Structure 1
Amino acid sequence: MRLARRYGIALVVMLLVWATVLYFCSEKLTNYDNSKSSSPVELVWWSKHMSWTQDEQRQCGIHTCRITNRRSRLPMARGVLFYGSNIKTGDFPLPRAKHQVWALLHEESPRNTPFVSNEEFLRHFHFTSTFSRYSNMPLTTQYLPSGAALTSKDYFVSFAGKSRFGYRPPTSVVFLQSDCDTMSGREDYVKALMKHLPIDSFGSCLRNKDLPESLQKDYLNNLYSPELLRFLSEYKFMIAIENAACPDYITEKFWRPLIMGVIPIYFGSPTIKDWQPNNKSAIFVNDFTNPHKLVEYLNKVADDQQLYDSYRQHKLNYRKPISNKKLLHNLVTRQYHMGDSSPGASLFEKFECAVCYHVINTARNGKADSRHYNCPLEPVYARLEGQEIPSNVADWRSMMEVGQCQAKILDEFFHRNLRFNDAEFDAELNRRIEANNCNNSSNI
């Protein structure tokens, strides 16, 4: 009897196990059938002023999504896409549906949309693509076309070749910039350098020379044109100062001189040394107490071939041109970079497919934080002589403070989850600024 009872219990357990297995298998099959028969997941671009009308079905690997900017499709959308430079403070899709992911693409510095850098705004997004390495789709090295571009000698000029141009000073420095109002105090720093060193400035900022006629027409949209790179590669140094100093915000200003074999004089991202090809690939403004000290070192490097070429090992070290493992890993794993002409390789298409994958495969409890777009409220600028401050720092500080106030208001409006317009937002912003209480919450 005892043996029969044991057999009975074992039989019941086996039946329960089989029933459980059959249940989960049937669920998997049902979900598979539903996914095959259901309509594609929809993503809606919300930002206005985008120059194209879009409504198409996109294949993103094994997934299919419908990408549209028809706002009438919002109720069906699983994801809402925002382009940072085109976000308007009075234009958000509220009330917000619980099932919808908000995704932010913003590759620029905060000068265009200052409220974006604040956590009060960022935490309302489930997916981000920014210059920060901590965003969901990082764009940190987007302006570096490839590792091969760093090691190629297509535009390389030897030290002797750079030194033979008698019409240029031995310490030849080029500045090419047409954005003349920056948070980093770029123009003020270059002016200070010019007091101690001749600098050829070809852009609209501090211009003292003209580009060759063939390069004048549209160089801003052809920053990596072979003709421009050949022209600039004859210089020993190139000023590479970003318009804002945010961690991981690295533009062509850093990569372009490295591609040419010109030493960058860099100021900008405080994390830049994490990304340089080797431990000694650029001369960093922050390593010097003032512009005069920097010029002294530039003169020393310009007169010493061995010292000069020690900054160009990514061109000269054939066995191991790039030693930075973080950079090498990024070049293999990154989802987007400029110069990719393959189908679906544009920044917007890459972002759309990344959000498509995220919406389908990722739980929506993760949210962005300040690391996803990490720019300081207080403008960071290159150190000048003595205690001198760049002329426009106060204006940028004021702009960032207004952006912080905007972010706090948006945070409260989003939590209220009711639709609002530009007039309502502006009225609340003006009220707080006039009352000097941007740091306090409101009963809106």
Structure 2
Amino acid sequence: MPTYRLFSHQAMAAMALLIALWLLISHLLSSSRVWGTGMWSLSGAFQPSSKLTVLIWHWPFNKSLPLDGDVCAHYGVVNCWLSTNHSLLSQANVVVFHHQELQNGAVRLPLAHRPLRQPWVWTNLESPSNTQGLSRYRNIFNWVMTYRRDSDIFVPYGKLMPRHGPAPPVPAKNRMAAWVISNYQRTQKRVVVYNQLSKHLQVDVFGRANRKPLCPDCLLPTLAPYRFYLAFENSQHRDYITEKLWRNALGAGVVPVVLGPPRSTYEAFLPADSFVHVDDFSSAQELATFLKSMNASRYQRFFVWRERLAVHLYDDWRERFCNICARYPHLSQNQIYRDLEAWFKS
């Protein structure tokens, strides 16, 4: 083969290789979740010991919980040890940080002492509307633990589980609708919808915003006599469904009227006929008419799911942290969030 033809073939092969590399790099840079990027990317096989240690760098909202005994075994997770001892930083398999304390400056990341290849978990249960300061955390966290279903560690506010034994009776109803709210802002969609709805429907309002706070033990008994509960989220975001649905409504035996993500999202968690969605109605007046015209047999159909399912509330941070161990074997050891803010606000 002439020398110039051999050189031509080699040049074409080199060009093809350069193009392929350029496309791969472009794909990685365009993603907010990048594999093997940054100082703290995890490379190679990370072999944990038989028991995983999850270091809780700080308790969410500064509300500490006891960690005596095999805490995670209580939640069905074996070989998982939770600790808050900072001296274990160099030995921990995973370290978890709650965003609220990072956001308000109460806690700082121990970046200067971070062991190589140690996964760090960012956790947050607030919506993007109530989360600030994420731009400071580029190329730091390997896994995220949130209410979003596409999180590495998915921690919803609640879920339905198979029921064992007979369902408790639905509480007797003699009142129409209730709402509990502490943070009342006129520009919020939930406040706008409430103001429209209350013109056509009697809604009893509790909470600090109405100077009628309910103690923790008073909440469910107070709501149980109502037919409907306004499970209105403070902001509308992907998968953002909070205790307003799980505890205040379903936990109290009340039909939730929901305002949050689309109906399809709620149906991923609940039977389609177990709730009323604001978006199903063209106006607040139409919604009010529907709620007021509900007969007894139609109302009881909202509770058919209770015969086979029960509500499980995720209200203990220890259970959430134990879930890190349960997910650990299934998570990529080469992952880092290049742009955490872009991912969370997507």
Counterpart for residue 248 of structure 1: 239
Shift of 1:267: 0.4
Counterpart for residue 259 of structure 2: 267
Matches within 5 A, 1:78-89: 78-88=93-103
Q: State yes or no: 1:194 paired with 2:198.
A: yes
Shift of 1:97: 4.3
- Segments of 5+ residues of structure 2 without an aligned counterpart are 1-46
Q: Would you say the 8 A contact 1:57–1:66 is kept in 2? A: no
Q: Within 2, Cα distance between the matches of 1:182 and 1:88? A: 25
| Aligned residue identity for 2:124 | H
| Aligned residue identity for 1:126 | N
Shift of 1:122: 7.4
Q: Would you say the 8 A contact 1:174–1:239 is kept in 2? A: yes
- C-alpha distance 243-369 of structure 1, shift in aligned 2 (>3 A): farther
| Aligned residue identity for 1:292 | Q
In the alignment of these two chains, the number of paired residues is 289
Counterpart for residue 185 of structure 1: 189
Q: State yes or no: 1:113 paired with 2:131.
A: yes
* Larger of the two Rg values belongs to structure: 1
Matches within 5 A, 1:88-237: 88=103, 91-95=108-112, 96-116=114-134, 121=137, 124-140=140-156, 142-144=157-159, 147-148=162-163, 152-157=167-172, 162=173, 165=174, 172-181=176-185, 184-206=188-210, 219=215, 222=216, 225=217, 228-237=219-228
Counterpart for residue 258 of structure 1: 250
Deviation string 1:63-96 (CA, Å, 9 cap, x unpaired) is 36573342x5544444332012211487333345
Q: Within 2, Cα distance between the matches of 1:359 and 1:275? A: 24
- C-alpha distance 257-152 of structure 1, shift in aligned 2 (>3 A): farther
Shift of 1:126: 2.3
Shift of 1:62: 5.7
Shift of 1:264: 1.3
- C-alpha distance 145-362 of structure 1, shift in aligned 2 (>3 A): closer
| Larger relative contact order (Cα-Cα within 8 Å, sequence gap ≥ 6) | 2
Counterpart for residue 348 of structure 1: 318
Q: Would you say the 8 A contact 1:57–1:65 is kept in 2? A: no
Q: Would you say the 8 A contact 2:171–2:253 is kept in 1? A: yes
Q: State yes or no: 1:63 paired with 2:67.
A: no
Q: State yes or no: 1:282 paired with 2:263.
A: no
User: In structure 1, the residue corresponding to 2:287 is in which secondary structure?
Assistant: helix
Q: State yes or no: 1:311 paired with 2:302.
A: yes
Shift of 1:198: 2.3
| Aligned residue identity for 2:109 | F
Counterpart for residue 299 of structure 1: 292
Q: Within 1, Cα distance between the matches of 2:177 and 2:198? A: 10
- Segments of 5+ residues of structure 1 without an aligned counterpart are 1-31, 211-215, 323-327, 340-345, 378-444
Q: Would you say the 8 A contact 1:133–1:248 is kept in 2? A: yes
Q: Would you say the 8 A contact 1:263–1:311 is kept in 2? A: yes
Q: Would you say the 8 A contact 2:230–2:257 is kept in 1? A: yes
Shift of 1:260: 3.7
- C-alpha distance 113-50 of structure 1, shift in aligned 2 (>3 A): same
- C-alpha distance 232-147 of structure 1, shift in aligned 2 (>3 A): farther
Shift of 1:131: 0.8
Q: Within 2, Cα distance between the matches of 1:62 and 1:314? A: 31
TM-score, with structure 2 as normaliser: 0.65
Counterpart for residue 19 of structure 1: none
- C-alpha distance 57-198 of structure 1, shift in aligned 2 (>3 A): closer
Q: RMSD over aligned Cα, in angstroms?
A: 4.3
Deviation string 1:338-397 (CA, Å, 9 cap, x unpaired) is 37xxxxxx423541x4445666885511345999997657xxxxxxxxxxxxxxxxxxxx
Give the share of equivalent positions with the same residue, in percent: 25
Q: Would you say the 8 A contact 2:155–2:320 is kept in 1? A: no
- C-alpha distance 54-360 of structure 1, shift in aligned 2 (>3 A): farther
Q: Would you say the 8 A contact 2:56–2:82 is kept in 1? A: no
Deviation string 1:206-234 (CA, Å, 9 cap, x unpaired) is 46xx5xxxxx5x52xx2xx4x54343222
Q: Would you say the 8 A contact 2:159–2:269 is kept in 1? A: no
Shift of 1:201: 1.2
TM-score, with structure 1 as normaliser: 0.53
Q: Within 2, Cα distance between the matches of 1:313 and 1:250? A: 21
Q: Would you say the 8 A contact 2:139–2:336 is kept in 1? A: yes
User: In structure 2, the residue corresponding to 1:265 is in which secondary structure?
Assistant: strand
Counterpart for residue 380 of structure 1: none
Higher strand share: 2
Shift of 1:273: 1.9
- C-alpha distance 62-314 of structure 1, shift in aligned 2 (>3 A): closer
